[in-house]
Amino acid sequence: SDLREQEERGELLQPLIFVVLVLCSVLLYFKVSLMDPGFVKPEEEAKVNPLKNEQSGEAEGQSLVIPQAVGDVKLRRCGYCLVKQPMRARHCQLCQHCVRRYDHHCPWIENCVGERNHPLFIAYLSVQLVVLLWGGHVAWSGLYFQQSWEWLQHNIFLLLSFFLIVIFTIVVLLLLVSHLYLISCNTTTWEFMSHHRISYLRHSELENPFDQGIILNLWRFFC
């Protein structure tokens, strides 16, 4: 009867939504960590030229317009897995594969973030941030501060949980904001950190030859 009364008052809706968000976060985590991030396979070498792919309409997710100055850069063969790397790909020594539109290798998901799972990685961070903010609000609402040792003994775990949630929230927020900024510029973490080492960026007349404006960059990435 108590559950029925709470349901009628709508008090069960918020916990239900919170549980659904947690489940979505867990499912996204496993999806992003277990899926192929965009490994370059040897049989795909015939499709490695992004300019040729774009003309034939056979590009697999690489629908970005490649400037002529960048397209003239000679594509190199990977010294580790011996495949011809598409532009913006990089070999990950932890995964032992070249990854298309390589962003970074994430130790939290034990997988690379690349062309195929990068949008889902952003979705995972977004859902995780909502869960952390909600959990932080719940933890804070349960704290009633009193200056006594007895109060601290009874609330020590709640305080530790709150501080852990704050730390994780800051980390996830900074990570999400930095990724959204790089996406809006149509660049990757690897390209941003190693601009001077990447041949197709060093030989380009533009600082970021892939940038097509914030709106188009976001549209191409998410849609």
> Are 42 and 152 found together in one domain?
no
Task: Out of 185, 202, 217, pick the residue that ends a domain.
Answer: 185
Q: Are residues 98 and 129 in the same domain?
A: no
Quick one: average pLDDT of 150-160? 74
Does one domain contain both 123 and 180?
yes
Say if residue 43 is in the same domain as residue 97: yes
pLDDT confidence of residue 78: 82
Last residue of a domain, one of 91, 114, 137: 114
Let me know if 106 is a catalytic residue: yes
pLDDT greater at residue 46 or residue 158: 158
Contact 80, 93 (CB under 8 A): yes
pTM of the predicted structure, to 2 decimals:
0.79
Domain contains 206: no
**Co-location of 181 and 145 in the same domain:** yes
Which pLDDT score, from 0 to 100, does residue 5 have?
A: 60
Same domain flag for 168 and 104: no
57 — pLDDT class (breaks 50, 70, 90): very low
Look up residue 24 and give its two tokens.
Answer: 């979505």
**78 and 91 in contact (C-beta within 8 Å)?**
yes
Provide the percentage of residues in the chain whose pLDDT is more than 90.
49
Let me know whether 29 and 135 are in one domain: yes
Q: Provide the domain limits for residue 128.
A: 1-34+116-185
> How far apart are alpha carbons 3 and 156 in whole angstroms?
30
Q: Which of 24, 78, 81, 106 is catalytic?
A: 106
pLDDT tens sequence across 44-56 = 655 545 444 434 4
Residue 89 and residue 100: Cα distance in Å, rounded?
A: 4
CA distances from 191 to 6, 11, 157, 204 (A): 53, 48, 42, 13
pLDDT of residue 198: 84
- Structural domain count, the chain: 2
Q: Same domain for 120 and 25?
A: yes
Residue 163, helix vs strand vs coil: helix
Which residues are paired to 131 by β-bridges? Answer: none
Asked whether the predicted pLDDT for residue 58 surpasses 80, the reply is no
Same domain, 128 and 172: yes
Exposed / middle / buried, residue 173 (Cβ in 10 Å: 0-12, 13-18, 19+): middle
